[in-house]
Amino acid sequence: MKKLINKPENFVDEMIEGIILAHPDMVRTPGEDKRIMVRADAPRKDRVGIVTGGGSGHLPLFKGYVGAGLCSAVAIGNVFSSPSSDQIFQATKAVDGGAGVLYLYGNYGGDVFNFDLAADLAELEDIETLTVLGRDDVASQPKERSADRRGVAGIIFAYKAAGAAAERGDSLKEVAAAAEDIIENTATMGIGLSPTILPTTGKASFDLPDGEMEIGIGIHGEPGIHRGALETADEVAERLMRPLVEDLGLSSGDRIAVLVNGMGATPLEELYVLYRKVHRIAEELGLTVEKRYVGEYATSLEMAGASLSLLKLDDERLALLNAPASSPFFREG
């Protein structure tokens, strides 16, 4: 194991302590539990709050997207484990400014269970909540079962759009609709080249022989749709992009946002080599890339690999992406 950590059981709390020490002006913990983080100026009166969360091990997801024009709060669990319903509820109370709270997070069983319980607790205190689930991973379910797909890196488009809608004063229903609209028009496909090593056990989270790749892999190592010998970056770009174009029904003249996301260990250089081919395929198909993000936005500790997310744009979606935003890990405008 090649990890810069102390006791594995302290990994998550020490990482959070580091984030809070590094960014005191941008985030704070509302109470004793450091696993709940809110933007420094929360709660904001008459503005919809946005609470996200999930397991640790995906930085900048989730903690990195708490800030102006993004999420209002985050509750996180242990590595790859859901936060508790009480933590989510505490986060909810800390950001409720009277306009309701959107729960926006990835579609995983443990997270859904705990966020739903938190919604019940919030209702008892007259805090209105709505839920929108990230479910952009096209490899996890076919199109006709897209409601059951897992949520992966594409959720950052929804954070950005919902955050912008909340910032301008949209109602809870409107903020939820903006997030849902983004998610219905976002599709992601990943590729894994090496497994994640779990800090607590020092063991690989899944098995992937050297020199092989897995297309469609999830951010916790969930099985994909193809395993075989590692291909060239251009071939991989084709394998990632074609199913997304089909899934979103993209055709010549459409405008898109592109996210080439590193899973952790893959160098930024390789992400740009991938982006290059994605851009060329888009040109070939008559698609215009209006926004692009290349870097590490949702990782899986030190997994080598990448994911490609496409968002079909219209004027409203693009305006929401372009609105100002600022968090320790994300800046726009």
Query: What are phi and psi for residue 49, nearest 5 degrees?
Result: -90, 150
- Rounded Cα–Cα distance for residues 148 and 164 (Å): 26
Piece in contact with its own copies (CB under 8 A), picked from 132-140, 157-165, 181-189, 296-304: 296-304
Locate tokens 């409107």: which residue? 174
Piece in contact with its own copies (CB under 8 A), picked from 52-60, 88-96, 121-129, 165-173: 52-60
Query: Which one of 86, 174, 238, 270 is in contact with its own copies (CB under 8 A)?
Result: 270
Q: How far is the CB of 260 from its own copies (least distance, A)?
A: 8
Q: How far is the CB of 40 from its own copies (least distance, A)?
A: 16
Per-residue DSSP letter, 102: E
Query: Which one of 118, 274, 311, 321 is in contact with its own copies (CB under 8 A)?
Result: 274
To the query of whether residue 220 is one of the catalytic residues in this protein, the response is yes
Footprint (CB under 8 A) of its own copies, residues 76-135:
none
Which whole-number Å values give the CA distances from 291 to 100, 139, 233, 294, 321, in the listed order?
Answer: 30, 24, 21, 10, 8
Most distant CA pair in the chain, distance: 55
| Interaction between residue 253 and its own copies (CB under 8 A) | no
Residue 301: is it exposed, middle or buried by C-beta count within 10 angstroms (0-12/13-18/19+)? buried
Piece in contact with its own copies (CB under 8 A), picked from 2-10, 102-110, 135-143, 155-163: 2-10
Query: Which one of 80, 115, 159, 275 is in contact with its own copies (CB under 8 A)?
Result: 275
Element of type H or E holding 191: strand 186-194
Q: How far is the CB of 93 from its own copies (least distance, A)?
A: 26
Residues 6 or more apart whose CB falls under 8 angstroms from that of 32 comprise none
Strand partners, 304: 194
Per-residue DSSP letter, 167: H
| Sites of contact with its own copies (CB under 8 A) | 1-7, 11, 14-19, 21-22, 56-57, 59-60, 191, 193-194, 210-211, 230, 232-234, 236, 264-276, 279, 292, 294, 296, 299, 301-302, 304, 306, 331
